[in-house]
């Protein structure tokens, strides 16, 4: 029987109905999908060693017997360290895990089982160990000779040897010895061997391996290139990684081309109001702010919608840039909308806008969910009549009742906090409005190329004059008294401070300090100081009252949760203590730290670390100590957490790459983007015969949808 890429997995020799169903449940229903079940790692059997001869830093593979499997509780928390101790007769080795690879992983192992252990050797307190090695049952039929073997993700107990055998069968019949096509095969559109969507010009220009050859090499590694395989650096890996990035970048390229075809209102009139505001400011805009404004004004003059991302670090002045863009649109005779993720931030933007724009006769409205219905109705009427020129708000802006008379510019602040549908609803309030995205979370270039690949980017990488450096230090519980004494010294000098907690109130599951309980303790500890409490469960008017007291200097110390991550600007506050800082990601720590250092006083951020601290937590603290550069911090955050966690999978729209890695493969990503955009420049509608296969794949695949 002829074998094709779409032949059912059931027709492979050695696959019966039961095994076929298991594979299909894992998304492997055809011969082609089996080829696309890529190795997750490689094992160099030539590095097989005995335990007695191991050295720290070595990447090794060894056969051993399990002595014991145990778990070690970490303090009073629910977290555990798992340990699998193995022996090969020459010595013992502890394999430690700080997280469970998957449910039931450790239950599989029992004493006296023979296993193969592959991983990197490290040293801890004078003893050698492995952290998170790969352990799988030893198959006596496996050859231990001079080989590099692919290792696959486990599929319901199916051994690697069986998977390798099935894949070898497909490679033989589909790549090495494909059967000639019959007349019937040709009539129904079958293709011989492995289909390759890439046209010849693209393969040649970007020096890519043929797809079939690449798939063969991934599953049957070249024996002289062990390190390249282990590091995903072979030409075969490059081809498949390029391909995975290419489909996403092609979607973004088509989306951008579609935007450029839309018609938008050209806001070409020069804005004297913008010039007046800039002249009246008590400071000069930074060069980066001026460059961003030039980019925006040039976009607004065009006849197709602006789609621009303004990316800037904490305190870089991007809000002012956004408001000046609004003024330009308003002076051209149109309305603008400015959406923020929280009521606190929307209120702060509103106050800033009123102070700046009201003297020029510009009417600004604030639309948030906590307003009374009577107030909302009045704002709805002002928007539909055109009386309101600029409306600042939260999700309330995208309600069906909200109608603008002449909306031409929409701005979304901290866009990664909104879902795709929410952003689309705001844009739908007008016909092809200009669209400006702003974020104070610096996003690494590699991630911006994927998530925001259809946007033009302006970067504000300078801070206004007068921003003081923030001295950041980590501290352990043993130094708590010293930290609290330092906080008291700052308050006595007339400064204000923040103490941030990860929880609002006590949790039975997690043993962490919480804002409500600590607030009461702190008031007893420092009876002469004035404390405020702020958290997400408070009503909007309660939050506003607490914020106002802190802003006005009637509160010395604000005890809060991460609700203050955005939206609080108090120049007199110069010290922040972040409790259990190990519970926060790097970008969140950076955002929190940005609440201080906004005035003339020397500023400090103390990262308190709890007892259950991992190596990653310590690394985060050290990174925070070493730099205030948000872009450097975001790159490190991406390395540590990965793109899904960095933005939040639901918000990011990132497809699940099988082997591509945004951190490791940035150079391949850049080349794939260049290729995708070049293809759309050559053939925008993908009408050419050589591009039909690409078009068919795009039409069938709905995975590549990024908001």
Those residues whose C-beta lies under 8 Å from the C-beta of residue 526, and which sit 6 or more positions away, are 488, 491, 557
With a pLDDT cut of 90, the percent of the chain lying above it is: 43
Domain check: are 454 and 513 in the same one? no
Domain check: are 580 and 490 in the same one? yes
> CA 318 to CA 313: how far, in whole Å?
9
Domain check: are 311 and 456 in the same one? yes
Query: pLDDT tens for residues 641-673?
Result: 666 555 554 344 455 688 988 778 889 998 999
Domain check: are 35 and 86 in the same one? no
Domain check: are 33 and 70 in the same one? no
pLDDT for residue 538:
84
Query: pLDDT tens for residues 401-435?
Result: 999 999 999 999 875 454 555 556 666 676 788 99
| b/e burial code for range 473-484 (CB count within 10 A of at least 16 → b) | ebbeeeeeeebb
Q: With beta carbons less than 8 A apart as the criterion, state whether 31 and 9 touch.
A: yes
Query: pLDDT tens for residues 347-375?
Result: 889 999 999 999 999 999 999 988 899 99
Domain check: are 560 and 686 in the same one? no
Winning range, highest mean pLDDT, from 5-14, 482-491, 586-595 = 482-491
pLDDT for residue 529:
97
More confident residue, 464 or 626: 626
**Does residue 116 lie in a domain region?**
yes
Q: What is the CATH number of the domain that holds 591?
A: 3.40.50.300
Q: With beta carbons less than 8 A apart as the criterion, state whether 431 and 403 touch.
A: no
**Does residue 234 lie in a domain region?**
no
Q: Which residue has the tokens 């590699």?
A: 446
Domain check: are 317 and 379 in the same one? yes
**Does residue 530 lie in a domain region?**
yes
Domain check: are 346 and 375 in the same one? yes
**Does residue 380 lie in a domain region?**
yes
**Does residue 230 lie in a domain region?**
no
| pLDDT confidence band for 275 (50 / 70 / 90) | very high
pLDDT for residue 487:
97
Q: With beta carbons less than 8 A apart as the criterion, state whether 114 and 137 touch.
A: yes
> What is the DSSP secondary-structure string of 95-159?
EEESS-SSTTTGGG--TT-EEEEEEEEEEETTEEEEES-EEEE--TTS--SS-EEEE---BTTB-
Report how many domains make up the chain: 5
> What is the DSSP secondary-structure string of 353-412?
HHHHHGGGT--EEEE-TTS-HHHHHHHHHHHHHT--SEEEESGGGGSTT---SSEEEEEE
Domain check: are 172 and 127 in the same one? no
Q: Which domain holds residue 289?
A: 272-460
Q: Please determine, for residue 707, whether its predicted confidence score (pLDDT) is greater than 50.
A: no
Query: pLDDT tens for residues 209-230?
Result: 999 999 999 999 987 677 788 8
Q: With beta carbons less than 8 A apart as the criterion, state whether 501 and 518 touch.
A: yes
**Does residue 4 lie in a domain region?**
no
472 three-state secondary structure: strand
Question: What value does the mean pLDDT take over residues 452-458?
Answer: 80
Phi-psi map region of 13: left, alpha, beta (phi>0 left; psi -120 to 50 alpha):
beta
**Does residue 237 lie in a domain region?**
no
| pLDDT confidence band for 602 (50 / 70 / 90) | very high
**Does residue 368 lie in a domain region?**
yes
Q: With beta carbons less than 8 A apart as the criterion, state whether 62 and 49 touch.
A: yes
Domain check: are 185 and 53 in the same one? no
């Amino acid at each position: 029987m002829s074998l094709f890429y779409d032949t059912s997995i059931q027709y492979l020799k050695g696959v019966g109905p039961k095994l076929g169903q298991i594979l299909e449940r894992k998304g492997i229903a055809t011969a082609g999908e089996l080829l696309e079940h890529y190795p997750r790692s490689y094992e160099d059997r030539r590095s097989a060693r005995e335990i007695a001869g191991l050295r720290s830093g070595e990447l090794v593979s060894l056969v051993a017997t399990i002595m014991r499997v145990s778990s070690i509780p970490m303090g009073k928390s629910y977290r555990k360290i798992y340990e699998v101790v193995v022996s090969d007769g020459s010595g013992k080795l502890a394999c430690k895990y700080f997280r469970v690879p998957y449910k039931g992983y450790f239950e599989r192992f029992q004493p006296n089982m023979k296993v193969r252990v592959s991983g990197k050797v490290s040293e801890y307190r004078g003893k050698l160990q492995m952290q998170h090695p790969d352990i799988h049952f030893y198959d006596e039929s496996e050859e231990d000779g001079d080989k590099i073997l692919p290792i696959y993700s486990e599929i319901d107990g199916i051994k690697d040897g069986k998977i390798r055998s099935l894949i070898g069968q497909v490679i033989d019949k589909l790549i090495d010895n494909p059967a000639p096509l019959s007349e019937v095969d040709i009539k129904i559109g079958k293709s011989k061997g492995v289909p390759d969507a890439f046209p010849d010009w693209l393969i040649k220009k970007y020096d890519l391996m043929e797809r079939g050859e690449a798939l063969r090499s991934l599953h049957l590694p070249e024996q002289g290139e062990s390190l390249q395989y282990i590091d995903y650096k072979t030409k075969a890996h490059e081809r498949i990684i390029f391909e995975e990035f290419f489909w996403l970048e092609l979607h973004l390229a088509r989306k951008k081309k579609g935007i450029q075809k839309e018609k938008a209102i050209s806001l070409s009139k020069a804005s004297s109001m913008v010039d007046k505001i800039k002249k009246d400011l008590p400071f000069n805009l930074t060069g980066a702010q001026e460059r961003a404004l030039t980019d925006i004004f040039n976009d607004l003059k065009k006849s197709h919608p602006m789609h621009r991302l303004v990316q800037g670090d904490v305190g870089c002045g991007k809000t002012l840039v956004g408001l000046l863009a609004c003024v330009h649109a308003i002076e051209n005779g149109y309305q603008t909308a400015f959406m923020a993720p929280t009521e606190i931030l929307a209120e702060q933007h509103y106050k800033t806008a009123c102070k700046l724009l009201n003297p020029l006769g510009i009417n600004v409205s604030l639309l948030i969910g906590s307003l009374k219905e009577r107030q909302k109705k009045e704002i709805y009427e002002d928007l539909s009549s055109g009386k309101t020129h600029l409306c600042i708000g939260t999700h309330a802006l995208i309600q069906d009742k909200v109608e603008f008379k002449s909306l031409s510019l929409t701005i979304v602040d901290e866009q990664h906090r909104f879902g795709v549908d929410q952003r689309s609803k705001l844009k739908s309030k007008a016909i092809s409005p200009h669209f400006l995205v702003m974020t104070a979370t610096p996003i690494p270039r590699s991630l911006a190329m994927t998530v925001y690949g259809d946007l033009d980017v302006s970067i504000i990488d300078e801070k206004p004059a007068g921003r003081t450096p923030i001295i950041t230090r980590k501290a352990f519980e043993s130094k708590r008294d010293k930290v609290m004494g330092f906080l008291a010294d700052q308050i006595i000098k007339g400064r204000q401070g923040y103490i941030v907690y990860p929880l609002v109130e006590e949790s039975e599951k997690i043993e962490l300090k919480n804002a409500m309980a600590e607030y009461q303790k702190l008031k007893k500890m420092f009876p002469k100081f004035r404390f405020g409490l702020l958290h997400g469960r408070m009503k909007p008017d309660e939050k506003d009252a607490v914020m106002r007291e802190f802003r006005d200097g009637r509160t010395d110390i604000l005890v809060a949760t991460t609700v203050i991550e955005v939206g609080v600007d108090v120049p007199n506050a110069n010290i922040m203590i972040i409790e259990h800082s190990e519970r926060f990601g790097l970008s969140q720590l950076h955002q929190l730290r940005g609440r201080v250092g906004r005035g003339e006083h020397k500023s400090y951020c103390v990262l308190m670390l709890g007892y259950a601290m991992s190596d990653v937590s310590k690394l985060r603290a050290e990174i925070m100590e070493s730099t205030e550069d948000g872009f450097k911090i975001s790159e490190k955050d991406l390395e540590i957490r990965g793109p899904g966690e960095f933005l939040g999978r639901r918000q990011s729209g990132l497809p699940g790459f099988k082997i591509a890695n945004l951190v490791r493969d940035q150079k391949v990503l850049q080349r794939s983007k260049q290729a995708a955009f070049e293809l759309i420049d050559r053939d925008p509608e993908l009408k050419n015969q050589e591009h039909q296969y690409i078009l068919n794949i795009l039409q069938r695949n709905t995975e590549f949808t990024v908001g």
